[in-house]
C-alpha cells in the first residue's frame, strides 16, 4: 500500500530559488502530516509539520501547504541553500495519536550553488 506518495524522486534547484516538494496521500483519515529531512549516513530529522485543521504552516524558510480536497501537500523552501540538499520525506501517523508513521518514498533535493 502507498498511502503517502512522493512522485518525484529528485529535484534540482539553483541556490536562492524556491524548492517545491510535493506529496499526495490517499487516506482521508490522516489528520497530521510531517516532513523529515535525511542526509546521507544519518537518520531522518523532523523538519516541519501541519495539522489538517490548517492549510499552511510556516517556519523560517520552510512552509508547508495542505490541500485537503486534493489530498495534497507541498513543502516550499525559500530561498534554497546548498545545505538543503538532502532527501525529503513526507509522513503521516496512521491515525490520530498513533505512534507509527507512514512515509513517502522521498524526494532527493539538490541545490546547485
Partner 1 sequence: EPEVTQTPSHQVTQMGQEVILRCVPISNHLYFYWYRQILGQKVEFLVSFYNNEISEKSEIFDDQFSVERPDGSNFTLKIRSTKLEDSAMYFCASSARSSLNTGELFFGEGSRLTVL
CB of 44 to partner 1, least distance (A): 5
Q: Residue 45: what are its φ and ψ, rounded to 5°?
A: -125, 140
Minimal distance in Å, beta carbon 4 to partner 1? Answer: 8
Cell of 86: 538532502
The answer to the question of residue 69 lying near partner 1 (CB under 8 A) is no
- Binds partner 1 (CB under 8 A): choice among 10, 12, 45, 81: 45
Does residue 60 bind partner 1 (CB under 8 A)? no
CB 76 within 8 A of CB 60: no
Shortest reach from residue 49's CB to partner 1, in Å:
5
Task: Evaluate whether 79 touches 13 at the Cβ level (below 8 Å).
Answer: no
Phi-psi region of 61 (alpha: psi -120 to 50; beta: other; left: phi over 0): alpha
Residues in the site for partner 1, rule: CB under 8 A? 2, 4, 32, 34, 41-46, 48-49, 51, 89, 91, 93, 96-106
Amino acid at each position: 500500500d502507498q498511502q503517502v506518495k512522493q512522485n518525484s524522486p529528485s529535484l534540482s534547484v539553483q541556490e536562492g530559488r524556491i524548492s517545491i516538494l510535493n506529496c499526495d496521500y490517499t487516506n482521508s483519515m490522516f489528520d497530521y502530516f510531517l516532513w523529515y529531512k535525511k542526509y546521507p549516513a544519518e537518520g531522518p530529522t523532523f523538519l516541519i509539520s501541519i495539522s489538517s485543521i490548517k492549510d499552511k504552516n510556516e517556519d523560517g524558510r520552510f512552509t508547508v501547504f495542505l490541500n485537503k480536497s486534493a489530498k495534497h501537500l507541498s513543502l516550499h523552501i525559500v530561498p534554497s541553500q546548498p545545505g538543503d540538499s538532502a532527501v525529503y520525506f513526507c509522513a503521516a501517523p496512521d491515525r490520530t495519536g498513533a505512534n507509527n508513521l507512514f512515509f513517502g518514498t522521498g524526494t532527493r533535493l539538490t541545490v546547485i550553488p
